[in-house]
């Protein structure tokens, strides 16, 4: 059986996403990155030898992909703080500090955070927001183990948009526990929207960078959509942690 096997982290997988969609071959993942958020979402063992055993066993699962302005992604696309964090995450830092590198990078960016205005256009309405960060999640995990939404699944056919609408950077500290648990939707200064398609449109024509799976991919205005059942991946028999495999 023909297949594509990729050893690396979320950035490596993200850069291969467009080619994988074109090839339509089953994907085997050897998690060799820092965060390995896609592997976590799929319930894959983080030990590469054990992950190779999953590929050899041959069990497959169809998963969705996200899409933003022509680029496919697995985990999340971001506008705002996340782009600044991405730009400060060097390979050397990730190699030295592992997942902690994400926290150090976030610490450098957060204190400079200022809300920006944007319109979120859904299939039903347009919403004006003042936000420091918008995350549009396809999978369950991002940023080294944080959770987009604890109800999310990578084959649920929808995207999960999370907008952090705080006025002061220190308010983000209080959101950290909910970021790890995936319960941001319960916070009053967080907006969450679930849907198949979104547009994020800058106000006053100030364009902002958009990152996808840790790489700068485009700029606003950004058109996001879900691509249901886009790829087949090898997964463990026990399925994903959220029980949807």
Catalytic machinery residues: 215
| Residues written for the chain | 245
Q: What is the dihedral of CA 18, 22, 28, 33, to 10 degrees?
A: -10
Whose CA is closest to 166, among 130, 206, 112, 119? 130
Distance between CA atoms of 34 and 96, rounded to whole angstroms?
Answer: 10
Angstrom distances, CA of residue 64 to CA of 138, 148, 178, 182, 207? 7, 15, 25, 19, 28
Whose CA is closest to 62, among 228, 241, 194? 228
Q: For CA atoms 219, 88, 38, 25, give the dihedral sign.
A: positive
CA 54 to chain centre: 23
């Amino acid at each position: 059986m023909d297949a594509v096997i990729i050893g690396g982290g979320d950035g490596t997988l993200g850069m291969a996403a467009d080619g994988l969609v074109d090839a339509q071959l089953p994907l085997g993942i050897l998690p060799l990155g820092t965060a390995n958020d896609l592997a976590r979402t799929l319930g894959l063992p983080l030990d590469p030898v054990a992950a190779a055993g999953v590929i050899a066993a041959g069990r497959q699962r169809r998963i969705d992909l996200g899409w933003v302005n022509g680029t496919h992604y697995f985990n999340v696309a971001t506008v705002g703080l996340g782009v600044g964090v991405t730009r400060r995450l060097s390979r050397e830092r990730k190699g030295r500090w592992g997942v902690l590198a994400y926290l150090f990078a976030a610490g450098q960016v957060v204190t400079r955070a200022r809300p920006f205005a944007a319109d979120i256009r859904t299939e039903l309405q347009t919403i004006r927001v003042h936000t420091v960060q918008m995350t549009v999640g396809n999978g369950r995990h991002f940023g080294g183990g944080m959770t987009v939404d604890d109800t999310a699944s990578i084959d649920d056919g929808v995207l999960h948009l999370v907008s952090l609408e705080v006025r002061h950077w220190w308010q983000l500290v209080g959101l950290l526990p909910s970021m790890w648990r995936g319960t941001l939707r319960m916070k009053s200064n967080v907006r969450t929207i679930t849907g198949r398609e979104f547009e994020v449109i800058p106000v006053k024509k100030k364009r902002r960078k958009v990152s996808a799976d840790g790489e700068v991919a485009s700029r606003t205005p950004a058109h996001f959509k879900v691509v249901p059942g886009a790829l087949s991946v090898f997964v463990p028999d026990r399925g994903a942690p959220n029980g949807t495999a």
